[in-house]
Structure 1
Amino acid sequence: MILTIKPFKLKQQSVIPGFGITMGIALLYLTLLVLIPISMVFINSSSLGLSNFIDIVTSERVAASLKVSFGTSFFAAAINTVFGLLIAWVLERYTFPGKKLMDGLIDLPFALPTAVAGISLTTLYAQNGWIGRFFEPLGIRISYTPLGITIALIFISFPFVVRTVQPVLQGIDTEVEEAAACLGASRFQTFTKIVIPELFPALITGFALSFARALGEYGSVVFISGNMPMKTEITPLLIRTKLEQYDYAGGTAVAAVMLIISFVMLLLINFFQWWISNRHNRS
């Protein structure tokens, strides 16, 4: 018997021709569009000095705006995750008249200018608006409150969950669910034991995208929030206010804090998604 020894290759050949060139272009593109603009935020804010930087970012007004922005964005993303799954399920598992129209309406917030969305929502949910006037006698105010901000953020960010979950639902074989039903599993057991584990990574991704989109929203929120400092003022508006007052260092300091908190939260979400995916694959 003759043994053949394959030559040892120090570098594994890529299946994509020109990997080195494409990787270089990709890194250059990310550097120009992401890394350099982000680094300028920290460079501009560094001119304040550490003590002034801490005084600005720990001020009561900045803390209140961060609380409003992150709180409303989190609740909006959580609500979108639940109802986005429901809408994606209806679109993928059922056939009904107007299905194509409903599917097309999902992307409407992408095309609609955010200022138009803000004006429309304010008109609807104001005290004398078509919807707000029914809540006013009950003592519930929607416009110019965090509730109104949350509604605006739900509107502009819900397509992310739907479009993230839909392809995964398409890939789930319905025969697996039918087999579970034949083995005696109830609909609830099939949904929680088979469907949800498959959809969970996509739901986490949709939540992260919806949260990130809502966190940076400005145009639709400024109309319905009322922009009251310490109450309904969002962080992007506070940053713009500082820039309009020519306080560029203070504005970039607030932006740097918001950027750091957002990055940490998205990193934790991605780590949680990775952990869930590995756990599901091992099981």
Structure 2
Amino acid sequence: MTLSRLAFFKAGGSALPGYRLSLTLTLVWTGFFIVLPLSTLLVYPWQGGPAAMLAALHDSRMLAALWTSFSCAGIAAACNVPFGLLLAWALARGNLPGHRLADALIDLPLALPTAVSGITLATLYGPHGWLGALLSVFGISVSYNKAGIVLALMFVGLPFVVRAVEPVLRNLPHELEEAAHLLGARPWQVFVRIIAAPLLPALITGFGLAFARGIGEYGSVIFIAGNQPFKSEIAPLLIVVRLQEFDYPGATAIALVLLCVSLLSLALIGGVRRRFALWSEPA
């Protein structure tokens, strides 16, 4: 082993002993468990050639399921933005009684098994559930349609928005708001010009994370969606259906589309977030 390689595995000027060796092992571990499976998913669908891939993608049921997943994930993420902002404001600035319990409950959808949350939502909003029966009196049906899908995705995506916005709110200096008030600014002007600008990158990040999570959500959706083809069937469920039918090209084609859209959406939202972050910085 050459001296340059020995120097690479030494800590050098880092305060962490064996930093470069630890970094190498981490990169190898990450590549084995993340990069390799994703690379396989990108290559495997094309083994039969472009014609076979195009044939697998030319499926009206698959297109309907993809549209259901993308549209419902986008609507749920957009609805979570104002709700997440209000919850983050209550946690960071509200000083309400029981805020510690509320802070812990925010993360519950992340720790709760998705099947448990799905069964709970289906029980509450089903035709004979506590909330479902009450809403049916007003002619509102939540379960077994796209409204149920949006509700389930809002449940699992809300923590991403709250946790993205809350630290920014806590770190905003109150002196800027006080100075704006002393200079005669109205409350809405203080919010728009002093608070909203630094919050935009965090809100965009929360939206992107909630949207990406909603695209691939499975367990919390299938119990309340009804899973009707061309109506309330989501793309992850159709992947399971294709695997049960031993249609591996069709399943991998759907998985490839979900992967590409997730990566593109995260990259696009990351670019928009950086653009807004530069715009909100003081000159």
Instruction: Tell me whether the two structures share a fold, i.e. TM-score over 0.5.
Output: yes
Counterpart position of 1:266: 266
CA RMSD after TM alignment: 1.8
1:195 aligns with 2:175: no
8 A Cα contact 1:57 1:257, kept in partner: no
Separation in 2 of the partners of 1:243 and 1:38?
18
Larger deviation, residues 20-29 vs 73-82: 20-29
Which is further off, 54-63 or 65-74? 54-63
Q: Which residue of 1 aligns with 2:35?
A: 35
Do the aligned residues in 2 keep the contact of 1:61 with 1:230 (CA within 8 Å)? Answer: yes
CA distance in 1, matches of 2:35, 2:78: 29
The separation in 1 between residues aligned to 2:70 and 2:118, in whole angstroms, is 19
Residue aligning to 1:153: 153
Shift of 1:197: 0.9
Whole-Å Cα distance in 2 between the matches of residues 52 and 282 of structure 1? 53
- Normalization by structure 1: what TM-score? 0.90
Percent identical = 44
Whichever residue aligns with residue 70 of structure 1, its letter is F
Supply the distance in 2 between the matched residues of 1:255 and 1:221 (Cα, whole angstroms).
Answer: 17
- The separation in 1 between residues aligned to 2:29 and 2:275, in whole angstroms, is 30
Q: Structure 1 regions of 5+ residues with no counterpart? A: 1-11
Give the corresponding residue for 1:85.
Answer: 85
Structure 2: distance between partners of 1:83 and 1:17: 44
Q: Deviations over 1:93-145 (max 9, x none)?
A: 12222111111111111221111111111111112221112222433221010
Q: For residues 149-188 of structure 1, what are the alpha-carbon distances to aligned partners after superposition, in whole Å with 9 as ceiling and x for unaligned?
A: 0000111111111111111111111111011100111111
CA apart distance, 1:18: 5.0
For 1:174 and 1:43, the matched residues in 2 are separated by: 52
- TM-score norm. by structure 2 comes to 0.90
1:41-190 paired onto structure 2 within 5 Å: 41-190=41-190
Q: In the alignment, what sits opposite 1:250?
A: 250
Deviation at 1:13, TM superposition (A): 6.6
Equivalences, count: 272
38-47 or 13-22, which deviates more: 13-22
Alignment partner of 1:225 is 2:225: yes
State how far apart, in whole Å, the 2-side matches of 1:244 and 1:201 are.
42
Matched position secondary structure for 1:48: coil
Distance 1:19 1:275, change over 3 A: farther
CA distance in 2: counterparts of 1:239 and 1:217, whole angstroms: 12
SS of equivalent residue, structure 1 residue 65 = helix
Higher relative contact order (CA 8 A, sep 6+): 1
- Tell me which residue corresponds to 2:210: 210
SS at match of 2:217: coil
In the alignment, structure 2 segments of 5+ residues that lack a partner are 1-11
Contact 2:125 2:143 in 1 (8 A): yes
What is the SS of the residue equivalent to 1:231?
A: coil
Q: Using the alignment, how far apart are the partners of 1:163 and 1:282 within structure 2?
A: 25
**In 1, Cα distance between equivalents of 2:35 and 2:25:** 14
How far apart in 2 are the matches of 1:170 and 1:77?
23
